Structure 1
Amino acid sequence: MAKCFPEPYDAVSESKAELLLYKALAEQLGPDYVILHSVAWISRPGGSGPREGETDILIAHPVRGLLALEVKGGRVSLDYRTRTWVSIDANGVAHDIKNPFDQARRGKFALLEKLKESPAWKKLGIGRFNIGYAVFVPNVGDGDRLRGPDAPAEMIGDRRDLSDLGAWVGQVLDYWSGQEGAGQQIGTRGVDALVALFARSVSTRPLLSARIADEEDVRFSLTIRQAAILDILRRQRRVVIAGGAGTGKTLIAREKAVRLASEGMRTLLLCYNRGLADHLREQCTTIGGLDVATFHQVCHRWIERVKAKNGRDLLSEARANLPRGDEFDHHMPMALANAVDTLGPIYDAIVVDEAQDFGDEFWLPVEMLLTRPDEAMLYVFLDENQDIYRRSAEIPVQGEPMVLDRNCRNTDAIHAAAYSHYRGAVVEPPQISGVEVNRLLASGIEKQAALIGTLVTKLVVEEGVAPHEIAILLCDPADRPARERALQTLPLPATVKLGRVEDFSRGGLTVDTVARFKGLERAVVILWAFDRCDVGKDRETLYVGMSRAKSLLYVVGSREACDHILAAQT
């Protein structure tokens, strides 16, 4: 049996003919064959604008080469005088269709273009090789009647061939080998590169696994819905993907950016928080053609480039032009727009995470960074419930967002606590029961800090939890220095080093604000400094803070304060 992507029983199509042929090919072709169903891509041949390509079924063999198949169901008729094609369905209704031989031929050449721009394929050094196309009409018993000057009978398959598809596929590949010369064999490495480009499986480690010395054994796999989003994005150039905390937005954003860069497109992965940008950058260090930065880091780099090249201080000019503007919300975006206008755009694709934190003024320079704003890729990931910076951005993407609707990060108990402060479309809880949210009750900073110290010591010494898997998050930063001093005086284990997000290291226990920790996660979160929080006004902060915890969530405060923030779930 051939190797198939996806498995035949997982394949989805509106065409019963496609599914019939795909299953039959899977059963009849040998194990050396690889078959891919419903393959789609976007390429930029010769650096030109994006060009879409697709084929119904792609067959690969390490020795015999590649075959792109176009499948047409129903009874098919044609008139070569008028170049019209018609498919007649089971109800006798006629439908005008495109010339399947033209579609198959375009699929073949678009596939060649995509392979030529793939870095992985280019590394193999494969020159000319056997690649062909064919049309299969599984509901027709006399497919050779469709032959014509551009459609020889050797590249037409019909119902009679369904009983011996191995022979038919072999004959078609031999036909193309004889027509154009066999050339090189693509080999198993060529087949593997093809699978990696069009059908690679997706799995990711927890968000901070790259910085965790003792990596978790269980890997976090994308749900079927999330994997489907990635497949859909192959066919989209501009789209918003929305979802609640823990639904995998950052994981998908990173994976999409990596795929774009791996396909030869200069890509920018953009976010708002420095901590998240640092983490994503570390995960993507080996990916060529991919830049990872916060919006304001991009502003700074471009402003400095113009200063070095032209001697202009664009930030000073922006301050002078808008004296009452804010440095981060107005002056830096304005300076970035002028810098891009001066130097010219460089990116083929931009992926934005944390888009809910981007202000209106951010989007003009973001679009200007794209080499072809009307054609280039722009993927925007957001959670409107995490708008703790109170932005009100007009995102430049038309249409309704795609929605991620299952929490894959938290336990059921943490989900219930965090999502009691969520407002929006229903997000399904995870399938991890976990333990209840724990309360550490005390009044005053010193007593609360003492409870936290006792808890941290127990987690690290008795339960074997690594310090870097723990974060203490402050909802209200007003008295942050006093709380940090109280923690520094605690008799904590020698292996524990307290620090902020940017100080993360082995043995480092993060103590920082919820706002600065956005986009990140820990196995254990201790939520603190919410005594003055208003459940209505500060619900985004509570929602974000609680949802950072994967396995254990502790809330530390007075009984009244803890009851207040957890009341919504009971």
Structure 2
Amino acid sequence: MARCIPEVVHESQRQRGEADFLQRLRMELSDEWIVLHSLNLGAGERRGELEADFVLLHARGRLTLELKGGTITCEEGTWYSRNSNGRFRIKPPFHQAKTNAHEVHEHLKRIFGKDSAEAGAPYTHAVVFPSCDFDAPSIEAPRDRTFDRRILSAALDKVIPPLLAIAEAQLVARKPGSVLPPPLSQSQLASCLQVLRPDLRLIPNLNASEFDAHLARLSAEQLAVFQLIEGNSRLRVTGGAGTGKTLIALEACRREHASRPQAKIGLVCFNRFLGAHLARGIETEGLQHAIEAGTLFLHIDRLLGLPPVPAGSPHSAYVERMEAAVRTAEALPEDQKFDLLVVDEGQDQDMRGSPNTLRVLNGLLKGGFAQGRWRWFEDANQTLNFSPKKPEPHPVADGVLSVLDSAATAHLQRNWRNTESVAEAFARIVQLPRTPASGFPGPGVAAAKAQKGHELKALNALLEKVVLPKHAPEEVVILSLRGAGLESYKECQSLGGLKRVEFDPLISAKPGEIRTTTFAKFKGMESHAVVLVDVERIEEVRDRRCLYVGMSRAKYALYVIATPEVYQAIVEALSTPAGSQVV
């Protein structure tokens, strides 16, 4: 089976016949092939936008296919396509295929060099007419590179590979006396893939007001996770901040619903803001009847038919609610349980050493974790619920942990959220391995120091002189590294000359306002610019993890106000990489 990137054709392209042909390429070609669909080639200044319908990569060479669906005619040199919507003038398909193949070749030459193996691989082009017979002999239309309905009645593993021999013959003809280059290695193929369809894609920025404004185009690394999902009933996915865990968790729910419309799907997270955000997104897409999204306690409230525990209640109230949920979940009839359970922020589902969280999750899933279908997403470096005691032993919870440890696992490495500067900064400051990031350099991370009792003065100065001249207020979120109610700005009605409002994922920012919250509440969210305040400790593991959570919320710009001691540690950590900045 060929590897296709992306795996599916977007809805807007389905009438062009490309979805069916992509499916055939996937099913009928071997795993030696990589298929890129709808490859936007960009253009020079004197050209219009170019798009190749299909580019096929193989160790022996590269093929560019132009597909023309519907009824195709050529009248006095002008090409037309007719479908149910009417008759349209189209670009000459053979010229278009040849131009696209050449454009791909030139792009690889620019990137790798004209004498590189990647650019020197044989290449050719062909035109596909899946809906009609092509009977017009023409010098423009080489018969061996024209695939019509009759030719396509054969399996594609018989139709497509001969094009490689044509590409090899063309290469030798272009360079008389030359010999064929050796086949590309897997690493060279991977390099070509990364250049032609790099991992960088449009992804939702996870701001509630823009949740459905973007189309998620998954990276090759993330697509590999979905291949594991398709082949495993139970999958554990690990990855750092910004690697797309929540994006994939949500997409896994969508795909499950698309393939099994009657399935009951549960999407569970830990953070209240993230839970509200996910539920809002599901509702916006009209999927709330099939996908129940929210925090674990929201699922518990639904299970028990009770209102939420009132804010400010003692910890014992949550413990009692959890114990009632355990009893109810474990007695729940199988037909009322989830067919698929997707758990995001899995590292936080421990409730300070109690086994009851895992018991509830196990009870909500048809077949439990041992036999049921589930996806578990986690980042161990974001674990904030440190327990002073070991978890209480319990056969059900211990069984869930055992199943998690033995399940198929995928690891996401590339950070899609942060600029290289932000990713480099938090890796150095919190002493984590540096992983690949978005590829955008971004501005340097800015740090400022504030003596105890002078945090507000430093914050207002930073906002007025540095942050707000560069960023619109709605692009900025101020995060305190202290707990709720302990923030240095808690008594302030305004900051930086703007009205201070508490961040709410369901309410868009308004002009004249600046939003604030704590880093813990903002976990799972992100903002274009983040101002991190009340940074007072960095010595312990928990301190560094809190700082990691706060810093990794910044997509583009990050500003940190710290005590003199922590400020000095930050300056020392940032002394090597370029792009750091002291304010």
Question: CA separation in 2, counterparts of 1:17 and 1:220?
Answer: 21
Spell out the pairing of 1:216-295 with structure 2 (5 A cutoff).
221-263=217-259, 264=261, 265-285=263-283, 286-287=286-287, 288-295=289-296
Q: 1:28 to 1:386 in 2, by over 3 A?
A: closer
Where 1:538 maps in the other structure, the secondary structure is helix
Q: Is the 8 A contact 1:274 1:294 kept in 2?
A: yes
Q: Which residue of 2 aligns with 1:412?
A: 420
Deviation at 1:377, TM superposition (A): 2.1
Matched, 1:207 2:206: yes
Task: Say whether the 8 Å CA contact 2:535–2:563 is kept in structure 1.
Answer: no
Within 5 Å, give how 1:130-149 maps onto structure 2. none
For residues 538 and 245 of structure 1, the distance between their equivalents in structure 2, rounded to whole angstroms, comes to 16
Partner in structure 2 of residue 166 of structure 1: 149
- The one-letter code of the counterpart of 2:448 is L
Which structure 2 residues correspond to residues 10-29 of structure 1 after superposition, within 5 A?
A: 13-14=30-31
Q: Does 2:37 correspond to 1:31? A: no
1:29/1:166 contact within 8 Å kept: no
Q: Could you tell me whether the CA contact under 8 Å between 2:484 and 2:518 is conserved in 1?
A: no
Q: Which residue of 1 aligns with 2:463?
A: 456
**CA deviation after TM superposition for structure 1 residue 530, in Å:** 1.7
8 Å Cα contact 1:266-1:289 kept in structure 2: yes
1:354 matched to 2:355? The reply is no
Q: 1:480 aligns with which of 483, 486, 507?
A: 486
Alpha-carbon separation, structure 2, partners of 1:408 and 1:10:
30
Query: What is the CA–CA distance in structure 2 between the aligned matches of 1:542 and 1:20, rounded to whole Å?
Result: 43
- The one-letter code matched in structure 1 to 2:379 is D
Task: Say which SS state the counterpart of residue 483 (structure 2) adopts.
Answer: coil
Structure 1 position 336 matched with structure 2 position 343: no
8 Å CA contact retained: 1:258, 1:284: no
Select the residue among 350, 358, 365 that pairs with 1:370. Answer: 365
Displacement of 1:410: 0.6
Q: Structure 1 unaligned runs (5+)?
A: 34-60, 63-160, 173-200, 308-314, 316-323
Look up the SS of the partner of 1:240 in the other structure.
strand
Q: Secondary structure at the match of 2:555?
A: strand
Q: Say if 1:202 and 1:418 are closer, same or farther in 2 by CA, change over 3 A.
A: closer
Match of 1:527?
532
Structure 2 counterpart of 1:380 = 376
Give the whole-Å Cα distance in 1 for the aligned partners of 2:30 and 2:537: 54
Conservation of the 8 A alpha-carbon contact between 2:277 and 2:505: no
Which segment is superposed worse, 276-285 or 424-433? 424-433
SS at match of 1:480: coil
Structure 1 pair 453/238, CA: closer, same or farther in 2 (3 Å)?
same
TM-score (norm 2): 0.58
My pick for the range that moved more, 271-280 or 229-238, is 229-238
In the aligned structure 1, how far is the partner of 2:33 from the partner of 2:424? 42
- When the two structures are aligned, how many residues end up with a matched partner? 391
Query: Structure 2 counterpart of 1:520, which letter?
Result: M
- 1:505 aligned partner: 508
Larger mean Cα displacement after TM superposition, 541-550 or 558-567 = 558-567
Q: In the aligned structure 2, how far is the partner of 1:28 from the partner of 1:453?
A: 58
Q: Which amino acid aligns with 1:354?
A: E
Residue identity opposite 2:303 in structure 1: W
- Structure 1 residues 367 and 202, CA gap change in structure 2 (3 angstroms): farther
Distance 2:571 2:540 in 1: 10
| Contact 1:240–1:402 (8 Å) recurs in 2 | yes
1:17 deviates by 13
Matched, 1:538 2:543: yes
**Counterpart code for 1:166:** R
With over 3 angstroms needed to count, the CA separation of the structure-2 counterparts of 1:491 and 1:456, relative to structure 1, is closer
Question: Would the aligned equivalents of 1:212 and 1:506 in 2 still touch at CA under 8 Å?
Answer: no
In structure 2, C-alpha distance between the alignment counterparts of 1:381 and 1:399, rounded to whole Å: 12
Q: Secondary structure at the match of 2:478?
A: strand
Q: 1:556 aligns with which of 552, 561, 570?
A: 561
Gaps of 5+ in 2: 1-15, 36-55, 72-82, 85-143, 156-199, 392-396, 576-583
Which amino acid letter does the alignment assign opposite residue 475 of structure 1? L
**CA drift at 1:533:** 4.2
Whether the aligned pair in 1 keeps the contact of 2:421 and 2:442 (CA below 8 Å) is yes
Are 1:440 and 2:478 matched, yes or no?
no
Note the C-alpha offset of 1:338. Answer: 1.6
* C-alpha separation in 1, matches of 2:542 and 2:423: 20
CA 1:386–1:537: 2 relative to 1, 3 Å: closer
Distance 1:435 1:228 in 2: 31
Do 2:234 and 2:408's aligned partners in 1 also have CA atoms closer than 8 Å?
Answer: no
Is this contact kept in 2: 1:476–1:532, CA < 8 A? no
C-alpha distance in structure 2 between counterparts of 1:361 and 1:532, whole Å: 32
Instruction: Give the direction of change, closer, same or farther, for the CA distance of 1:164–1:472 in structure 2 (3 Å limit).
Output: closer
Could you tell me which residue of structure 2 aligns to residue 299 of structure 1? 300
Cα gap change, 1:519 to 1:10, in 2 (>3 Å): farther
CA 475–534 in structure 1, closer or farther in 2 if over 3 Å, else same: farther
Amino acid across the alignment from 1:346: K
Shift of 1:440: 2.3
Residue 162 to residue 361, structure 1, CA distance change in 2 (3 Å): farther
Question: For 2:564 and 2:472, how far apart are their aligned partners in 1?
Answer: 29
Secondary structure of 1:511's partner? Answer: strand
Structure 1 residue 433, shift from structure 2 partner: 0.4
Change (3 A) 1:475 1:565: farther
1:514 Cα deviation from its structure 2 partner: 1.3
* 2:141 corresponds to: none
Cα distance between partner residues in 2 of 1:16 and 1:532: 52
- SS of residue matched to 1:299: helix
Residue 453 of structure 1: how far off its partner (Å): 2.3
Under a length normalisation based on structure 1, what TM-score does the superposition of the two structures give?
0.59
The question of whether the paired residues in 1 share the 8 Å contact of 2:427 and 2:434 is answered with: no
- Aligned-partner residue type, residue 409 of structure 2: P
8 Å CA contact 1:29–1:165 kept in 2: the answer is no
Secondary structure of 2:490 counterpart: helix
Q: Cα offset for 1:424?
A: 6.7
8 Å Cα contact 1:413-1:434 kept in structure 2: yes
Q: Which whole-Å CA distance do the structure 2 matches of 1:557 and 1:30 have between them? A: 61
> Do the aligned partners of residues 461 and 390 (structure 1) sit closer, same or farther apart at CA in structure 2, a change above 3 Å counting?
closer
- Distance change (3 Å), C-alpha of 1:239 and 1:422: farther
| AA at the equivalent of 2:149 | G
Change (3 A) 1:410 1:28: closer
Q: Render the CA deviation track for 1:449-476: whole Å, top value 9, x for unaligned.
A: 233224434578643x343321111112
Structure 2 counterpart of 1:555, one-letter code: V
- What does the per-residue CA deviation read over 1:211-235, in whole Å, with 9 as the maximum and x for residues that have no partner? 259x99x877432111221233122
Q: Which residue of 1 aligns with 2:552?
A: 547
Inter-partner Cα distance in structure 2 for 1:491 and 1:7? 59
| Structure 2 letter corresponding to 1:5 | L
Which secondary structure does the structure 2 equivalent of 1:275 belong to? helix
Conserved in 1, the CA contact under 8 Å of 2:415 and 2:436? yes
Alpha-carbon distance in 2 for matches of 1:28, 1:460: 49
CA distance in 2, matches of 1:7, 1:450: 64
Instruction: Provide the identity percentage.
Output: 25
Q: Distance in 1 between the 2:29 and 2:410 partners?
A: 19
**Cα gap change, 1:342/1:204 in structure 2, threshold over 3 Å: closer, same or farther?**
same
CA distance in 2, matches of 1:505, 1:364: 37
CA contact (8 A) 1:524 1:553 kept: yes
